[in-house]
């Protein structure tokens, strides 16, 4: 009996009890079973290999099962697995804080841990709301970009302008006001409208994905317009919350997307590549000014938020090893190489008749097809199947194809991705 179960394919056994995220199981019933992973490669249960062109949702930037990271985490597992982080502390969290502070934008001083990107933005929002509350000011409006995406819990969903199938939950959202992403054309209007709006003195915080909006299909905007918006908001004591869950840790060519700007955020949200694809962790960092608004003889002015596994020692150890790798000459050189390869590929592909637009920020490269597609529609699925057939894991977002491969991807592996994209243009 057990043998017959073991002989059944994983992809079949999957169907019995698993409900997958972001999936309509009736129209997309098949899940490919991945058996192992190494570097930039995934291997399915039949042994077929795939280049992980999106680093498993932008997490495994130093490669899957990186031995440098694994060795460190295995040692930590033998020492301390988990302890309550309220009243207690431990070396992995302390060392990580010391090393992260060195590479974070210089105004960041304090770190508040949680478990994923959604919780990191919820905490950012709570910091902004309570900051004003603790100062005795009633500010109960949040500002966000149209088409921003900040997570799937209720607070995070509320600030996300990109609402794919959010219908059932809209009655339960926090009220949020939105502004368009700045362009050279609309910037003056945005600033003028904001100046007027700010007279009401009730905007607590502004949450934004700096430079690249990931879930909106890697939409990109320049630093200059965003900088002017941040300057205006900070003048009116609106706390600025940079959601760098996707953009953080080297992907934009600098350590953080905020490093491209002159005005640094009050709060930064991090996750994904933070732990190098090993285990989940979220992190919300902030300035001394934000922290000080909570530091008080009144207990109630503290931030009474906490998840059980906050600052899990294994996750902190993975993150510390990742921060070390990020700063090595090897990884920094690889990042430069990938940026150059994308630029060369772009020259070849950008004028293709099926290509509407291309864009690049650091190692993030995206192209929009000249074809209308639904976000979860059949043409999108056909493209996905094409890429997998070519041994390349890319995950088209509607009509957008994008690459966000691990920093350790070789030139040969990246060329396999480029070729698969060129072939894709023939079938759409």
Long-range contacts of 292-298 (CB under 8 A, 24+ apart): 293/130, 293/131, 293/134, 293/135, 294/127, 294/130, 294/131, 294/134, 296/134
156 sits near a second copy (criterion: CB under 8 A): yes
Residues in the chain: 428
56 sits near a second copy (criterion: CB under 8 A): yes
Q: Of these, 106, 169, 371, 422, which contacts a second copy (CB under 8 A)?
A: 169
Whole-number Å distance between alpha carbons of 77 and 103: 26
Strand, helix or coil for residue 212: strand
- Which region, judged by CB under 8 A, interacts with a second copy, from 17-25, 180-188, 340-348, 363-371? 17-25
115 sits near a second copy (criterion: CB under 8 A): yes
In this structure, are residues 93 and 316 in contact, taking their beta carbons and an 8 Å threshold? Answer: yes
In angstroms, give the least distance from the CB of 167 to a second copy.
Answer: 7
In this structure, are residues 40 and 405 in contact, taking their beta carbons and an 8 Å threshold? Answer: yes
389 sits near a second copy (criterion: CB under 8 A): no
In angstroms, give the least distance from the CB of 224 to a second copy.
Answer: 30
DSSP per position, 131-176: HHHHTT----EEEEETT----SSHHHHHH-S--SS-GGGGGGPPPE
- Which region, judged by CB under 8 A, interacts with a second copy, from 156-164, 224-232, 249-257, 365-373? 156-164
278 sits near a second copy (criterion: CB under 8 A): yes
Q: Of these, 40, 129, 239, 403, which contacts a second copy (CB under 8 A)?
A: 129
In this structure, are residues 204 and 131 in contact, taking their beta carbons and an 8 Å threshold? Answer: yes
Q: Which is nearer to a second copy, 84 or 348 (CB)?
A: 84
103 sits near a second copy (criterion: CB under 8 A): no
Residue at token pair 């430069």: 336
Q: Which is nearer to a second copy, 110 or 359 (CB)?
A: 110
By DSSP bridging, strand 49-52 and strand 41-44 are antiparallel
73 sits near a second copy (criterion: CB under 8 A): yes
Q: Taking the CA of residue 310 as centre, how many other CA atoms within 13 Å lie in the half-sphere pointing to its CB? A: 19
In angstroms, give the least distance from the CB of 362 to a second copy.
Answer: 19
Give the footprint of a second copy on residues 185-204 (CB under 8 A).
none
149 sits near a second copy (criterion: CB under 8 A): no
289 sits near a second copy (criterion: CB under 8 A): no
Give the footprint of a second copy on residues 209-228 (CB under 8 A).
none
């Amino acid at each position: 009996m057990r043998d017959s179960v073991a002989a059944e394919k994983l992809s079949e056994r999957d169907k019995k009890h698993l409900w997958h995220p972001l999936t309509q199981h009736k129209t997309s019933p098949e899940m490919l079973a991945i058996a192992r992973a190494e570097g930039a490669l995934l291997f399915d249960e039949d042994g077929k290999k795939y280049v992980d062109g999106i680093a498993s949702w932008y997490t495994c930037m130093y490669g899957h099962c990186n031995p440098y990271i694994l060795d460190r985490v295995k040692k930590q597992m033998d020492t301390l697995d988990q302890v309550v982080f309220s009243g207690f502390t431990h070396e992995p969290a302390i060392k990580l804080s010391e090393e992260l502070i060195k590479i974070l934008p210089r105004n960041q001083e304090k770190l508040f841990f949680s478990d994923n990107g959604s919780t990191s933005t919820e905490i950012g929002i709570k910091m902004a709301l309570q900051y004003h509350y603790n100062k005795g000011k009633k500010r109960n409006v949040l500002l966000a970009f149209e088409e921003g995406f900040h997570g799937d819990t209720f607070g995070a969903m509320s600030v996300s302008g990109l609402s794919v199938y959010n219908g059932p939950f809209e009655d339960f959202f926090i009220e949020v006001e939105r502004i368009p992403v700045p362009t050279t054309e609309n910037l003056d209007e945005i600033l003028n409208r904001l100046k007027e709006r700010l007279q009401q003195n009730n905007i607590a915080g502004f949450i934004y994905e700096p430079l690249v909006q990931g879930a909106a299909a890697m939409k990109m905007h320049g630093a200059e317009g965003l900088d002017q918006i941040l300057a205006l908001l900070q003048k009116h004591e609106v706390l600025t919350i940079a959601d760098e869950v996707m953009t953080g840790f080297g992907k934009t060519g600098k350590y953080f997307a905020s490093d491209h700007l002159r005005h640094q955020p009050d709060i930064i949200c991090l996750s994904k590549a933070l732990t190098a694809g090993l285990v989940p962790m979220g992190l919300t960092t902030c300035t001394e000014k934000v922290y000080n608004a909570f530091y008080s003889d009144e207990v109630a002015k503290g931030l009474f938020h906490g998840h059980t596994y906050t600052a899990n020692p294994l996750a902190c150890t993975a993150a510390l090893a990742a921060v070390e790798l990020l700063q090595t000459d090897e990884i920094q050189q690889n990042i430069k190489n990938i940026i150059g390869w994308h630029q060369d590929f772009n020259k070849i592909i950008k004028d293709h008749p099926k290509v509407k637009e291309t864009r690049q920020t650091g190692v993030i490269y995206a192209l929009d097809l000249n074809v209308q597609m639904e976000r979860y529609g059949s043409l999108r699925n056909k493209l996905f199947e094409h890429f997998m057939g070519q041994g390349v894991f890319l995950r088209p977002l509607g009509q957008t194809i994008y690459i966000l491969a691990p920093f350790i991807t070789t030139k040969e592996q990246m060329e396999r991705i480029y070729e698969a994209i060129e072939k894709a243009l023939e079938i759409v």
